């Protein structure tokens, strides 16, 4: 028995001993000749680096796609610009000065470049691999697809090194001030996409320098950095040719008022105490120019169930309508729509002035104006989505497009592509686009068409407050900046959650301290002091 046990142990251990003895004979993996640009750029620590197989982890080359196009004369001369997305799906680019040979390459060319012996250094604010011979560049393919890359300007401004020397799109870009018919691209222009201002640089000798500025367009281009007086990188957006401008609109589409806040779960009963706050972008006499507001509640118990066949006009417990046909508000003024409680935080709290409350219905006892069943709450608190939409006029059907819309969460039966497609129509806002800006095609009216929430790229939403304790009176403040002059959001709305005191003044909802919303609005551009900061502002 002992012999059997001994043999068993020997049979079990011999393979491991054999493996240990043979370890030095295992060939191992083969080191790639190509280093991803993500890793290559990380080698630079503020001082020049001479590239070798040792510091490039055994590699001697890069394999990337060309994004530079010198035919438009708007990129640094003699610089080949390439990018890749090899490491961790992270897009990175690099500049390689090779003189006049750089103009031979066009976007979509796939190249392999031997960079051993090259020097990685920052030149005029941009990482370059210098000391690379033009003969070290080998073109291996043409017409490679370059994925469209939409990046908000705020991301670029916050991290110019990351986006440097990459091809990207500034989407729904516009200019401040609004361009005149004689304004042209030449020079440095402040381009705004709703997330920040970035410099659009066009050289005086660029082939498109004398082209007119557009009201709203996508601007493809390459980020080229400069260094300011304090040593910081300052990104500039360089278009390559006039084909990098995709016009979206020639005229502004300005909503008469916009959604700026609401209370979905007041402290106490919800019945008759939900309300929504709006800010007017012009003087409005609602008797002369009526409007409507519709809420949608997609809680699991809301009927009719399933996808909303009639969109915002579905009615039942899914959508509820208010007609705004009396009262008035001045440009920049706030007004309210909701239950007849007319208090900031349910029963026994501060009243909202009647003059500011444009339409009130006791929705706990009365059906909506045209559609909407009696309900105890307008805005879902179950975790499924709810939404708010504002419409011109008082007629709302399944095909009526709102002038402003917000959604909170995305749960529930909200959209199906069908056929037929069913869902809640959106409009062009800081969050949504009727046409996907990156897919718009003036020759094909159906390309990129996405008129519903949760269709295509229309997936952005505000979130429920993450505090699981209900019935505290959280006020949802949507703070942003809308420019009436430019006809666009120059700073997209962001959410802030505030517990309203029962005894707080009404002005609290329009004076909450928030660095996002320093105001400068009105025809005269008068500045409003910090103690009167509104949740959403116009300018």
Q: How confident is the model at residue 487 (pLDDT cuts 50, 70, 90)?
A: confident
Outline where 474-538 has alpha helix (H): none
Residue 119: predicted pLDDT? 98
Closest CA to 202 of 183, 219, 189: 189
Is 90 exceeded by the pLDDT of residue 287?
yes
Residue 521: predicted pLDDT? 29
Is 50 exceeded by the pLDDT of residue 49?
yes
What percentage of the chain has pLDDT greater than the value 70? 86
Tens of pLDDT, residues 2-25: 444 444 444 444 444 334 444 444
Give mean pLDDT, residues 237-260.
90
User: Would strands 404-408 and 110-114 be described as parallel, antiparallel, or unpaired?
Assistant: unpaired
Residue 455: predicted pLDDT? 97
Q: How far apart are the first and last CA of the chain?
A: 94
CA–CA gap between residue 531 and residue 508 (Å, rounded):
10
CATH 2.40.50 intervals, the chain: 37-141, 153-249
Tens of pLDDT, residues 376-393: 999 987 789 999 999 999
CA–CA gap between residue 245 and residue 82 (Å, rounded):
21
Q: How confident is the model at residue 509 (pLDDT cuts 50, 70, 90)?
A: low
CA–CA gap between residue 360 and residue 100 (Å, rounded):
71
Tens of pLDDT, residues 339-378: 999 999 998 889 999 999 999 999 999 999 999 999 999 9
User: Would strands 386-392 and 110-114 be described as parallel, antiparallel, or unpaired?
Assistant: unpaired
Is 60 exceeded by the pLDDT of residue 46?
yes
| Ramachandran region, residue 358 (left: φ > 0; alpha: ψ -120 to 50; beta: rest) | alpha
Closest CA to 153 of 199, 184, 217: 199
Residue 27: predicted pLDDT? 44
Is 60 exceeded by the pLDDT of residue 45?
yes
Give mean pLDDT, residues 413-426.
96
Residue 9: predicted pLDDT? 42
Provide the 8-state DSSP code for 382: S
Query: Strand order in 386-392's β-sheet?
Result: 319-324, 291-297, 386-392, 404-408
Is 90 exceeded by the pLDDT of residue 294?
yes
Give mean pLDDT, residues 70-90.
96
CATH 2.40.50 is held by the domain 153-249: yes
Tens of pLDDT, residues 297-333: 999 889 999 999 999 999 999 999 999 999 999 999 9
Residue 502: predicted pLDDT? 84
Least confident range of 98-102, 167-171, 285-289, 500-504? 500-504
Residue 515: predicted pLDDT? 32
CA–CA gap between residue 235 and residue 13 (Å, rounded):
63
Residue 19: predicted pLDDT? 40
Is 70 exceeded by the pLDDT of residue 252?
yes
Residue 214: predicted pLDDT? 87
CATH code of the domain occupying 37-141: 2.40.50
Closest CA to 160 of 41, 63, 39: 41
CA–CA gap between residue 363 and residue 275 (Å, rounded):
11
Give mean pLDDT, residues 269-279.
94
What percentage of the chain has pLDDT greater than the value 90? 70
Residue 471: predicted pLDDT? 83
Q: How confident is the model at residue 539 (pLDDT cuts 50, 70, 90)?
A: low
Q: What pTM was estimated for this model as a whole?
A: 0.74
CA–CA gap between residue 245 and residue 239 (Å, rounded):
8
Residue 483: predicted pLDDT? 87
Q: How confident is the model at residue 445 (pLDDT cuts 50, 70, 90)?
A: low
With a CB cutoff of 8 Å and minimum separation 6, the contacts of 33 are: 59, 60, 61
- 264 touches 467 (CB < 8 A): no
- 425 touches 452 (CB < 8 A): yes
Average pLDDT, the chain: 87
Residue 512: predicted pLDDT? 44
- 320 touches 476 (CB < 8 A): no
pLDDT: is 532 or 173 the higher one? 173
């Amino acid at each position: 028995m002992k012999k059997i046990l001994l043999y068993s142990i020997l049979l079990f251990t011999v393979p491991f001993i054999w493996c240990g003895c043979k370890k030095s004979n295992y060939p191992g993996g083969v080191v790639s000749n190509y280093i991803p640009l993500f890793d290559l750029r990380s080698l630079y620590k503020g001082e020049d680096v001479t590239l070798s197989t040792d510091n490039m982890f055994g590699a001697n080359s890069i394999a990337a796609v060309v994004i530079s196009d010198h035919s438009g004369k708007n990129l640094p001369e003699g610089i080949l610009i390439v990018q890749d997305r090899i490491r961790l799906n992270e897009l990175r680019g690099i500049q390689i000065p090779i003189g006049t040979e750089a103009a031979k390459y066009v976007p979509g060319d796939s190249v392999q470049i031997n960079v051993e012996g090259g020097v990685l250094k920052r030149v005029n604010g941009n990482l370059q691999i210098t000391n690379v011979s033009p003969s070290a560049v080998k073109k291996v393919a043409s017409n490679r697809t370059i994925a469209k890359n939409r990046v908000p300007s705020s991301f670029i401004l916050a991290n110019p090194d990351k986006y440097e020397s990459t091809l990207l799109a500034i989407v729904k870009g516009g200019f401040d001030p609004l361009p005149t018919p004689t304004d042209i691209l030449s020079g440095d222009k402040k381009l705004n996409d709703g997330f920040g201002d970035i410099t659009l640089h066009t050289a005086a000798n660029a082939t498109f320098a004398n082209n007119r500025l557009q009201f709203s367009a996508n601007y493809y281009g390459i980020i080229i950095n400069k260094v300011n007086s304090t040593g910081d990188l300052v990104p500039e957006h360089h278009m390559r040719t006039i084909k990098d401008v995709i016009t979206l609109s020639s005229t502004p589409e300005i909503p008469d008022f916009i959604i700026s806040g609401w209370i979905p779960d007041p402290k106490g009963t919800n019945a008759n105490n939900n309300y929504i706050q709006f800010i007017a972008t012009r003087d409005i006499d609602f008797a002369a120019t009526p409007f409507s507001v519709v809420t949608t509640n997609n809680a699991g118990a809301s009927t009719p169930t399933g996808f909303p066949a009639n969109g915002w006009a579905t009615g039942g417990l899914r959508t509820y309508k208010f007609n705004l046909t009396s009262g008035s508000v001045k440009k920049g003024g706030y007004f309210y729509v909701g239950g007849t409680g007319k208090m900031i935080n349910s029963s026994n709290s501060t009243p909202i002035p009647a003059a500011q409350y444009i339409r009130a219905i006791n929705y706990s006892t009365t059906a909506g104006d045209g559609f909407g069943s009696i309900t105890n709450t307008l805005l879902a608190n179950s975790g499924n989505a709810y939404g708010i939409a504002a419409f011109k006029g008082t007629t709302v059907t399944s095909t009526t497009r709102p002038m402003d819309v917000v959604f909170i969460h995305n749960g529930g039966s909200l959209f199906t592509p069908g056929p037929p497609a069913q869902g809640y129509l959106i409009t062009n806002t800081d969050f949504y686009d009727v046409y996907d800006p990156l897919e718009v095609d003036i020759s094909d009216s159906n390309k990129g068409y996405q008129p519903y929430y949760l269709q295509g790229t229309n997936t952005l939403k505000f979130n429920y407050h993450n505090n699981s304790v209900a019935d505290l009176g959280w006020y949802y403040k949507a703070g942003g900046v809308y420019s009436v002059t430019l006809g666009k959001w120059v700073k997209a709305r962001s959410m802030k959650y505030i517990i309203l005191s029962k005894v707080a003044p009404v002005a609290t909802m329009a004076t909450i301290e928030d660095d996002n919303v320093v105001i400068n609005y009105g025809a005269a551009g008068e500045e409003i002091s910090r103690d009167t900061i509104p949740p959403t502002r116009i300018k």
